[in-house]
Structures are given as C-alpha cells and as structure tokens.
Amino acid sequence: MYKNLLMSVLLAASLPAAAQRHAKKAEVSAATVERVLTTLAADDMQGRATGQPGSLKAAEFLASEFQRIGLQPLPGAPGFLQEFPAYQTAVTSTSVLLDGVAVPAGQVLALTTQPSLNWTEKDEVALLVLGPQDKVQPHLGEIFRPTKNTLVLLDPSQTAFFKSLAERYARPRLRAEPTGNAYSTVLVLAPAPASPPAYRVAATTATTTQTLRNVAGYLPGHDPAHAAEKVIFSGHYDHLGILKAVAGDSIANGADDDASGTTAVVALAEYFKKRDDNARSLAFVAFTAEEIGGFGARYFSQQLKPEELTAMFNIEMIGKEAKFGPNTAFITGYDKSDFGRLLQANLAGTRFRFEPDPYPEQNLFYRSDNATLARLGVPAHTISTDQIPTDKLYHSVDDEVSSLDVKNMTAVISAIARSASGIVAGRQTPTRVAPEKIEK
C-alpha cells in the first residue's frame, strides 16, 4: 500500500506539472514575416549563392534573428552557425599530344579530382572513340562516373556536346569528401584515328576547401518525458546568386525559393519561443547548399540520431497562392507516413487546409532537403504552395518579393504552427517512413 500510495503521490505531483504548462499567448508575427523575407531577398544578399559573400551575410543575419528570439544553439554546438567543410577541385592546366601533335587547349576537357594526370598509351587507360555517327548518350556513365581512367576522342561534329560540358564544368563542383573519384576522364575533340594513337595526356589541378554553414537554433522540450524527442522546422537559405542579366537585373533574389521557407522557420521559432510550452524539443534550421546538391541537410542529418527525430517540417516556396486557392498548401510524400493526415486533422474547423502534393510526377518529395532524413525513416515532408509546373519565376532573376502574397504566406505559416501543435505537444507521433516506400 505504502509503495503504491507513494507512487500515486509522485505521479500526481510530476505528471500534471508537465501537462499543465500553460501556453503564453502567441501569434505568428506578420511584421517578422515581412521583415525577414525582405531582408533575405534584398539585392544586397546577392542571391545568397553558397560560398559567396551574400550567403555569409544571410547566415549571420539568421543567427542574429535566432539570438534575438532567444533560441539556444543545438546541444553541444558552440553557436548558431553549424560550419563544415566542402571541397572543390579546379583544373589548372591540361596538355594533350596525339601522335606527336599538340591539341589546342580549348579542345581538351579534363574531368578529374586527382592532383595531376600523366597518361600515355602504355598506361592502363581505357580509350573511347566516338565518331560522327556514334551516340554519346550510352556512354555517359563511363564519362561521368569512370571506373577506370578514360580518354575519350570525340569527333569534332560533336562539338556542341563538348561545349555544353565545358560550360558545365567551368564552375567546379563542391563535394563533401576531401578526395573525389580515383579515376578521371579526359575528353579531346579530335577525329577518330585510323589506328589506336600514341598519346601523352597531362593535367594538373588545385583543390580548395570551403566552409559551408547551416544556421540552427534550439528550444529544449519542457516535458522530461518528451524532451529527448526532436521536431525539426527547416528551409534552405541558399539560392542561385548572380545569373545572366534580364532587363538589367542579374540577381536571383530567391524570394520564394527559399527565402519564404527560411522566413517561416524564423517566424515559427519566434512563435514557439513565445508560447513557451513545447513538450518536445524543437530544432530550427536554415540549410545551406540545397540548390547545389543538398550538402547542408546531409551534414545536419549526420549530426543527429534519426531515431530521436519525431518529424521534420521542411518548408519550400510558400510565397505564392497554391493551385487549391488562398489558405491552402500541400504536403509532399503524403502517402509515405501519416504526417499529412495528422496535420490536416489539426486544421479541421479553420479556414485553412492542407492537400496532398498535386504534382507527384515532379518528384518534389525527393527534390528538397526533407529527403535526406526521410531516407533514414524520419517522417520528413516538405510543405509548399508553389504551382511548379507553371511557375515562370522559378529559378529566374524575377523571383522577387513583389511577386509574393505575403498575407497568404503569413496564413500558411500560422497554419503550419497550428498543424504542428499535437506533434510539438507530444500528443501526436507520426508514423515512420518505411524504407520500401523510399527511392534510393
């Protein structure tokens, strides 16, 4: 009896304390939405391209917002900026002799991350000769993901393909690992020789390290029974930077993509901090490098245990009205967990509604930063309003604040806050994403 009595006294003392925590009055602030959106999408952010000064400026601005709101850094992190390295290899010189004749530099393209190349016909190099009639398509795997060093002699009639490659590789790509593929491809514009040629192929490269940064803040959960469980609210703050000028404007402001989602993350952080009643712990993160391969989300995911993550609300392009009209948004990967159904249920009786992604053929579930965590089983979905099949402003210099409906966008953010209430409070737990429902 005593023991049981003590237990019930303890339970009575501890359980309601957590459950009774009163929410302070809070609303998503329209002023915050307007200010953060216009700051991120302003010309002085230079389109927030990863690795460019505008991106650093945006990251520092977001960190200052998290500071102002009163978030904490992620557990164990020194601050709001989550920095990590990425690597980039630029080819600094090439020279090719074919049967003793030097090939002009403009007709040579080395795809390599090795410090240097020095090949002759005596080395183990695969020779691929593509004549005027040969299709390049079946050989793209050998060219881009070589499993041995490969020299490609490409007939001059294929110059258009060569030029498009050269343009694409003029800006070296980032990668997460210090070393890239151990094998390289060198393409040379040259007519097919009558017999296998004698050759000398040389190239040198320079690899540089860049610091990339996510911006992440944290609100620890108030309920000891749920505080170890984390809910993530995310958007990507990077965009495309400077593009070819259209009517004198060359800055891709990325107001919708994804200053809008990043703004939502800040506004939601402010909202949940004001309420001060989250049972689960909440992480707010602005990812870098989404547009160039999702490096930010991948690094962020690797720092956390997926089994501790209850859900991810990734927010992408919520600045324009959805195809279902005002006060609507859609959720990607709707059938992959019951996340969407829970959110919908929490909006019942409001003028807002969420719909399943109406563009499954666009593969949006896999095209944003939620996919990294979804592949690890986390109910990680993207919320969007973009009418992507007909959005002429997508990835153009005209993706500006003036094209957005900030009032509707604020309504979307408020709906996200409301739809998340059960998950934030520990009352609802979405089902995990099953590996068989995921494309690798």
Count of residues engaged in binding Zn ion, rule: CB under 5 A: 3
Among 258, 321, 369, 400, binds Zn ion (CB under 5 A): 258
* Distance from the first to the final alpha carbon of the chain: 56
CB 248 to Zn ion: min, Å:
25
CB 388 to Zn ion: min, Å:
10
Burial-class residue 261 by CB neighbours within 10 Å (0-12, 13-18, 19+).
buried
For residues 295 and 364, give the distance between their C-alpha atoms in angstroms, rounded to a whole number. 17
Tell me the pairing of strands 199-219 and 174-175. unpaired
Q: Which is nearer to Zn ion, 199 or 295 (CB)?
A: 295
For residues 335 and 354, give the distance between their C-alpha atoms in angstroms, rounded to a whole number. 14
CB 361 to Zn ion: min, Å:
18
CB 387 to Zn ion: min, Å:
14
What separation in angstroms does the CA of 303 have from each of 113, 149, 423?
27, 35, 22
Q: Which is nearer to Zn ion, 223 or 399 (CB)?
A: 399
Q: Which stretch binds Zn ion (CB under 5 A): 41-49, 270-278, 299-307, 311-319?
A: 311-319
The residue among 255, 172, 181 whose CA lies nearest residue 207 is 172
For residues 78 and 99, give the distance between their C-alpha atoms in angstroms, rounded to a whole number. 59
Site string for Zn ion, 392-421 (x = CB under 5 A): ------------------------------
Q: Which stretch binds Zn ion (CB under 5 A): 75-83, 126-134, 226-234, 250-258?
A: 250-258
The residue among 48, 82, 52 whose CA lies nearest residue 215 is 82
Binding to Zn ion (CB under 5 A): which residues in 354-383?
Answer: none
For residues 418 and 344, give the distance between their C-alpha atoms in angstroms, rounded to a whole number. 10
CB 290 to Zn ion: min, Å:
6
Q: Which is nearer to Zn ion, 337 or 384 (CB)?
A: 384
Q: Which is nearer to Zn ion, 223 or 238 (CB)?
A: 238
CB 296 to Zn ion: min, Å:
12
Q: Which is nearer to Zn ion, 364 or 378 (CB)?
A: 364
For residues 118 and 201, give the distance between their C-alpha atoms in angstroms, rounded to a whole number. 6
Q: Which stretch binds Zn ion (CB under 5 A): 53-61, 279-287, 292-300, 309-317?
A: 309-317
For residues 112 and 187, give the distance between their C-alpha atoms in angstroms, rounded to a whole number. 11
Q: Which is nearer to Zn ion, 65 or 257 (CB)?
A: 257
CB 162 to Zn ion: min, Å:
31
Q: Which is nearer to Zn ion, 87 or 237 (CB)?
A: 237
For residues 430 and 32, give the distance between their C-alpha atoms in angstroms, rounded to a whole number. 29
For residues 256 and 277, give the distance between their C-alpha atoms in angstroms, rounded to a whole number. 30
Binding to Zn ion (CB under 5 A): which residues in 28-87?
Answer: none
- Using CB under 5 A as the binding rule, whether residue 257 contacts Zn ion is answered as yes
The residue among 239, 332, 240, 222 whose CA lies nearest residue 281 is 222
For residues 378 and 428, give the distance between their C-alpha atoms in angstroms, rounded to a whole number. 14
CB 386 to Zn ion: min, Å:
9
Q: Which stretch binds Zn ion (CB under 5 A): 269-277, 310-318, 334-342, 400-408?
A: 310-318
- Using CB under 5 A as the binding rule, whether residue 386 contacts Zn ion is answered as no
Q: Which is nearer to Zn ion, 270 or 316 (CB)?
A: 316
What separation in angstroms does the CA of 226 have from each of 54, 219, 238, 322?
38, 13, 32, 34
Q: Which stretch binds Zn ion (CB under 5 A): 91-99, 155-163, 296-304, 314-322?
A: 314-322
For residues 289 and 218, give the distance between their C-alpha atoms in angstroms, rounded to a whole number. 21
Q: Which stretch binds Zn ion (CB under 5 A): 54-62, 167-175, 198-206, 256-264?
A: 256-264
Residues that bind Zn ion (CB under 5 A): 257-258, 316
